Chain A
C-alpha cells in the first residue's frame, strides 16, 4: 500500500509518501514541500491543482492529513479550507482519506514520534515534514 501524508502551514504544503504492507516493512518514498501563496486570488484552485498533482504523481491508496485545531481566524482559509479541497479531490479520485489532529501526533509524551524515529533510525524530519511522514506511516495501519 502507498500512503500520502499532508501537513500544511502558511505558504507551504508538506507531503510525504510512504509504502509498505504494514508499518514494520515501510519505506519512505519521498518527503517534500510545495510552495503556495496565501494571498493568491485563486487560492482554492491552487490547492486543488497541488493536490491533483500530488495524487497523479504518487498514486496513493490512502491520504492522511494533519488538522490543526488551535488556529487564528485569518489562518482558516489556508489551514482549514485547504483540507476541504483535499477531501473533495480524494473523493473525486476514489481515494480513502483520514484526518488526525496535531495533538494526536504528540500524544502520550510524543510516543509516536519516538516510535517513528526508532524505526527509521533518523531524526532528520522536523515540524511539518515530520508530521506528514508520520501521518503517512501510521496510515498504513488503516
Chain B
C-alpha cells in the first residue's frame, strides 16, 4: 500500500475510508466510517510490509493509549489488516471535529489570549504524558486539533520514553532544541518545553505559513542548531512583553534555563491576567471583548487633514483613548500598543 495515494472510497477491513485528512509522520490519516459500530472515527494507516518488523509499529497505538487525557486524542486500538494483499497497521482513533491549529492559523488570526488558553490546556496534556514517562517529540500547531472547542494533542508517532537516546535530526527540526542536534541526544522534558515555546511563538504572532516565514530569516539552519532562532525572530507589536518572556524562557538555548516541567510553564501562563481578547476584523479595525469591562473597538479613520485612531467603549467614543496623528505609521503604532497594553492586565 502506498500511503501517498488517496484511497478514499475504499474499504479497509471494517472501515470505509471517507476522506484522507493528511499524511502523518510515517503514515496516512483518514476519516472513516466504522461499519460495525456505525460511527465515524479517524484511523492512521502505517505500512507493515515486513510482518516480522510489524511489532515495532505497535508503539504508535500503545504509547498514546497510556496517555488517556482530556486533552489528548483518544486511541481505541490498533490492528494489522490486509489491504490488496499487503499488510498495514491501523491505529483506530477518536475523530476531532475541528481543524488543527496550523490550518486555523492559515485561515484566521488567533488572539494572544486564545493562543495562551490553547497552549495552557495542551500543557496539561504534555505534563500528563511526561508523568507517564512519554516525551512527545513532535509538538507543533499541526498536532494540536480542536474538538468541540477543546484543544487536543495528537500524533505520538515520534514519541519515545523519557531518557531514551535519539538519533540527531530525528526531530521536527524547526522546533527541536539545540541539544538534540548532537550524537546520543536524550529525550527530556525540556525538549518538549522548547517545542511548546516555538508553538506558542507561532500562535501569538499569527504565522500562517511557517516554512515560508523561515525562508525570510538569514542563516536559519545555523540559528536552529545553535538554539538562537527565537532571538532573531520578529515579534508582533501586539504581543505583550510578559508573553514573549514566557516564550523566550521556554526556548532558551540552555535546557537548565527553561521551564523544568509543563506545570511550571502552565503556572506562568495562569499567572498572566487576561484582559481583552482582541479580534482582527480588518487590518486597521479590531474588536476587544472581556469578562469585566466594556466591549472595545479600535480603528484608524483616515481623513484629508488628519489620521485618527478611534477607540470606542460599548460603541461610545472614548475621547481619552482616541488620538490624532500626522502619519499612518504612528497611528498604527499607537493602535498596536493600545491592543498590547489591554491584552493582559
Q: Could you list which residues of chain A lie within 8 angstroms of chain B, going by C-beta atoms?
A: 11, 34-37, 39-42, 45-46, 48-50, 52-53, 56-57
Check B128–A53 contact: CB distance below 8 A.
Answer: yes
Pick the contact of A35 from B124, B150, B270 — CB < 8 Å? B270
Give bound CA distance, A37 to B271, whole Å.
8
Pick the contact of B267 from A34, A39, A48, A52 — CB < 8 Å? A34
Give bound CA distance, A34 to B121, whole Å.
14
Check A48–B263 contact: CB distance below 8 A.
Answer: no
Give bound CA distance, A45 to B266, whole Å.
15
Give bound CA distance, A49 to B125, whole Å.
9
Check A57–B131 contact: CB distance below 8 A.
Answer: yes
Give bound CA distance, A11 to B127, whole Å.
20
Q: Mark B128-154, 1 if CB is under 8 A from A, else 0.
A: 100110000000000000000010000
Pick the contact of A39 from B121, B131, B271, B291 — CB < 8 Å? B291
Check B70–A49 contact: CB distance below 8 A.
Answer: yes
Is B274 part of the binding interface, using a Cβ–Cβ cutoff of 8 Å?
A: yes
Is B308 part of the binding interface, using a Cβ–Cβ cutoff of 8 Å?
A: no
Give bound CA distance, A12 to B121, whole Å.
17
Check B150–A11 contact: CB distance below 8 A.
Answer: no
Give bound CA distance, A35 to B131, whole Å.
19
Is B71 part of the binding interface, using a Cβ–Cβ cutoff of 8 Å?
A: yes
Closest Cβ–Cβ distance, residue B266 to chain A (whole Å): 8
On whether A56 and B128 interact (CB within 8 A), knowing A42-B150, A45-B70, the answer reads yes
By a CB distance below 8 angstroms, the chain B residues around A41 are: 117
By a CB distance below 8 angstroms, the chain B residues around A57 are: 131
Pick the contact of A42 from B121, B131, B132, B274 — CB < 8 Å? B121
By a CB distance below 8 angstroms, the chain B residues around A39 are: 274, 291
Q: Could you list which residues of chain B lie within 8 angstroms of chain A, going by C-beta atoms?
A: 69-71, 117, 121, 124, 127-128, 131-132, 150, 263, 266-267, 270-271, 274, 291
On whether A36 and B124 interact (CB within 8 A), knowing A42-B150, A56-B131, the answer reads no
**Which 8 pairs, one residue from A and one from B, show the smallest C-beta to C-beta distance?**
A35-B270, A49-B124, A35-B267, A56-B131, A39-B291, A57-B131, A35-B271, A37-B270
Give bound CA distance, A86 to B221, whole Å.
47
Q: Using a Cβ cutoff of 8 Å, how many contacts connect chains A and B? A: 39
Check B270–A36 contact: CB distance below 8 A.
Answer: yes
Give bound CA distance, A49 to B71, whole Å.
9
Give bound CA distance, A15 to B311, whole Å.
44
Closest Cβ–Cβ distance, residue B74 to chain A (whole Å): 15
Sample 28 A-B pairs with CB under 8 A, ordered by A number: A11-B270, A34-B263, A35-B270, A35-B271, A36-B270, A37-B270, A37-B274, A39-B274, A40-B117, A41-B117, A42-B121, A45-B70, A45-B150, A46-B121, A46-B124, A48-B70, A49-B70, A49-B71, A49-B124, A50-B124, A52-B128, A53-B124, A53-B128, A53-B131, A56-B128, A56-B131, A56-B132, A57-B131
Closest Cβ–Cβ distance, residue B189 to chain A (whole Å): 13
Give bound CA distance, A8 to B92, whole Å.
39
Closest Cβ–Cβ distance, residue B233 to chain A (whole Å): 28
Give bound CA distance, A36 to B266, whole Å.
9
Give bound CA distance, A41 to B291, whole Å.
10
By a CB distance below 8 angstroms, the chain A residues around B267 are: 34-35
User: In this complex, what residue of B is CB-closest to A41?
Assistant: B117
By a CB distance below 8 angstroms, the chain B residues around A56 are: 128, 131-132
Closest Cβ–Cβ distance, residue A45 to chain B (whole Å): 6
Give bound CA distance, A48 to B121, whole Å.
12
Pick the contact of B127 from A35, A40, A53 — CB < 8 Å? A53
User: In this complex, what residue of B is CB-closest to A49?
Assistant: B124
By a CB distance below 8 angstroms, the chain B residues around A34 are: 263, 267
Additional A-B contacts beyond A39-B291, A41-B117, A42-B121 (19; CB < 8 A): A11-B270, A34-B263, A34-B267, A35-B266, A35-B267, A35-B270, A42-B150, A45-B70, A46-B121, A46-B124, A49-B70, A49-B128, A52-B69, A53-B124, A53-B127, A53-B131, A56-B128, A56-B131, A57-B131
